[in-house]
Amino acid sequence: MMRRAVLIAVPYFWLMALFLVPFIIVFKVSLSDTALAIPPYVPTLEWRDFRTFLSQLDFENYIWLTQDDLYWKAYLSSLKIAFLSTLMTLAIGYPVAYAMACCPEKWRSTLMMLVILPFWTSFLIRVYAWMGILSNEGFLNQFLLWAGIISTPLTILNTNTAVYIGIVYTYLPFMILPIYATLDRMDASLLEAAEDLGCSRIGAFWLVTVPLSRNGIIAGCFLVFIPALGEFVIPSLLGGSRTLMIGKVLWEEFFNNRDWPVASAVAVVLLLILIIPIMLFQRNQQNQAEAGR
């Protein structure tokens, strides 16, 4: 019994100390005043009793977030970029996952491995690889000029287009794998039954295959959407000065402006936006785990 308590306590307290408590500190700092000091903030909260605690709550950093339109524009544009790139990833990932499930059994584990391998390769390097492809004298423009499709180089690097390409590219494995997992489990005789009952192949696809892969689609979309929303590396390397994403705003607020209280407020609001999709995602995972058993 003693051993069991220790076994539970060690990871429990580790996560409490290094995951939960830091969030409470972020919340506390977001209510502080900015100061020219090290660390650059002055705490305004002190615990005496509950009533003085409530009266000390000072939301000026949050009010600031609503006053300067940089912030809400950044939130909106992050939501838009994350949403559209999730749809694009789905449009590219679904046919690939479907084709993998159609492949002969003996190829499948190799194909799986080929999808997973880029995920293990450095994220930073994979984003960096696109800088050489998308720049004005990059490979894409060289190819298009050579093929005679365009006569002057296109400006793609440092625009939102490059950010979309970067997100779709880096998160594609996260979309393919859960969809492939549900398609792989699907019973092929259901399709035969649908076709025997007079469905066309395309009809059977929409009426049987897509609904049966629903859980995979949902899991894949969340796995792309949630991290894409707070993305920092992709907009800062591939995006331009006009690319507004909240992860980048938070970074600049913290490292360039050294405004820790505002950066913390930005983080708290981002977390509030993410709580709903994160909870939906966990529920979907639980449903799937229960259905799998």
Partner 1 sequence: MMRLSWFNVISLTLGFAFLYLPILILVVFSFNESKLVTVWAGFSTRWYGELLQNQAFLNAAWVTLKVAVFSSTLATILGTMAAYVLVRAGRFPGRTLFSGMVYAPLVMPEVITGLSLLLFFIGIGLDRGILTIVLAHTTFSMCFVSVVVSSRLVTFDRSLEEAALDLGCSPFDAFRLVTLPNIAPAVFAGWLLAFTLSLDDLVIASFTTGPSSTTLPIKIFSAVRLGVSPEINALSTILIAIVTVGIITASLLTKRNALGRGYDKKTVRRGQ
Which residues 190-219 are close enough to bind partner 1 by CB under 8 A? 191
Closer residue to partner 1, CB minimum distance, 35 or 114? 114
Closest contact distance (angstroms) between CB of 97 and partner 1 is: 9
Gyration radius of the chain's alpha carbons: 24
Closest contact distance (angstroms) between CB of 13 and partner 1 is: 10
Closer residue to partner 1, CB minimum distance, 72 or 232? 232
Q: Does 25 bind partner 1 (CB under 8 A)?
A: yes
Contacts of 228 (CB under 8 A, 6+ apart): 81, 82, 85, 86, 167, 171
Distance of CA 26 to the CA centre of its chain: 21
Residues 100-139 that bind partner 1 (CB under 8 A): 100-104, 111, 113-118, 120-126, 128-133, 135, 137-139
State the number of binding residues for partner 1 (CB under 8 A): 92
- Measured CA to CA, the distance from residue 79 to residue 230 in angstroms comes to 9
What is the DSSP code (8-state) at residue 48?
S
Task: Out of 71, 75, 171, 281, name the contact with partner 1 by CB under 8 A.
Answer: 281
Task: Out of 53, 80, 95, 206, name the contact with partner 1 by CB under 8 A.
Answer: 95
Which of helix, strand or coil describes residue 41? strand
Task: Out of 163, 222, 243, 244, name the contact with partner 1 by CB under 8 A.
Answer: 222
Candidates 45-53, 69-77, 92-100, 148-156 — which segment interacts with partner 1 by CB under 8 A? 92-100
Candidates 24-32, 57-65, 67-75, 212-220 — which segment interacts with partner 1 by CB under 8 A? 24-32
Q: How many CB atoms lie within 10 A of CB 191?
A: 18
Candidates 7-15, 48-56, 145-153, 212-220 — which segment interacts with partner 1 by CB under 8 A? 7-15
The answer to whether residues 69 and 63 touch, using CB atoms and an 8 Å cutoff, is: no
The answer to whether residues 222 and 51 touch, using CB atoms and an 8 Å cutoff, is: no
Buried residues in 176-186 as b, exposed as e (16+ CB within 10 A): bbbbbbbbeee
Which of helix, strand or coil describes residue 42? strand
Residues 32-91 that bind partner 1 (CB under 8 A): 39
Q: Does 260 bind partner 1 (CB under 8 A)?
A: yes
Q: Does 226 bind partner 1 (CB under 8 A)?
A: yes
Closest contact distance (angstroms) between CB of 223 and partner 1 is: 7
Helices 214-229 and 160-185: angle between axes, nearest 10 degrees? 150
Instruction: Write the single-letter amino acid at 150.
Output: I
Closer residue to partner 1, CB minimum distance, 20 or 51? 20
The answer to whether residues 93 and 181 touch, using CB atoms and an 8 Å cutoff, is: no
The answer to whether residues 250 and 266 touch, using CB atoms and an 8 Å cutoff, is: yes
Closest contact distance (angstroms) between CB of 51 and partner 1 is: 25
Task: Out of 88, 145, 199, 227, name the contact with partner 1 by CB under 8 A.
Answer: 227
Closer residue to partner 1, CB minimum distance, 115 or 160? 115
